[in-house]
């Protein structure tokens, strides 16, 4: 069993409803209880000329391998209306599912980097994760999520919503 930590977000349409549907789909596909953070609202990160985002973090235990986990998250994104445009980085989206952690696994490939490479620089991930997993230790930075939040250089305001 591995603890899988996902970051969920979106800024197009009825985002909270979309994200609740994602959580239901994850529950159905992975069959283990899911713990979720509160919703958090933030300005867009990177490409700032777009609507605010709602984000949250979920985690659950799973026996599935990483490849299957990745394929399931992409399938749920597609079912939720996510269209990936390779020409637009950090653009608007109905839903986004990022695998933040897959246990203590470290992977770097063209398709996937685990842990997600920007966790320590994104308060919209750190705040919700600190709510539900403050003592989780980043496997390459060797710091807890609470410690990473204290030293984050991200100045975007994050509001619990």
82 is catalytic: yes
Rounded distance, CA 55 to CA 36, Å? 11
160 is catalytic: no
Catalytic residue among 98, 122, 154, 160, which?
Answer: 98
Catalytic residue among 74, 78, 96, 122, which?
Answer: 96
Helix locations, the chain, DSSP H: 15-30, 66-79, 123-132, 145-150
Catalytic residue among 52, 74, 78, 82, which?
Answer: 82
Catalytic residue among 74, 93, 154, 160, which?
Answer: 93
Phi, psi angles (nearest 5°) of residue 41: -110, 135
93 is catalytic: yes
2 is catalytic: no
Positions marked active-site: 82, 93, 96, 98
């Amino acid at each position: 069993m591995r603890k899988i930590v996902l970051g969920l977000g979106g800024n197009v349409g009825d985002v909270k409803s979309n994200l609740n549907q994602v959580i239901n789909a994850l529950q159905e596909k992975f069959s283990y209880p899911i713990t979720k953070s509160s919703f958090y609202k933030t300005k867009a990160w990177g490409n700032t000329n777009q609507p605010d985002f709602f984000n949250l973090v979920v985690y659950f235990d799973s026996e599935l391998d990483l490849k299957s986990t990745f394929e399931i998250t992409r399938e749920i994104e597609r079912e939720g209306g996510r269209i990936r445009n390779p020409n637009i980085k950090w653009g608007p989206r109905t839903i986004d599912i990022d695998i933040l952690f897959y246990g203590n696994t470290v992977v770097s490939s063209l398709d996937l980097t685990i842990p997600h490479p920007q966790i320590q620089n994104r308060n919209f991930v750190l705040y919700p994760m600190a709510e539900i997993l403050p003592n989780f230790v980043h496997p390459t930075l060797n710091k807890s999520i609470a410690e990473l939040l204290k030293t984050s250089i991200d100045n975007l305001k994050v509001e619990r919503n």
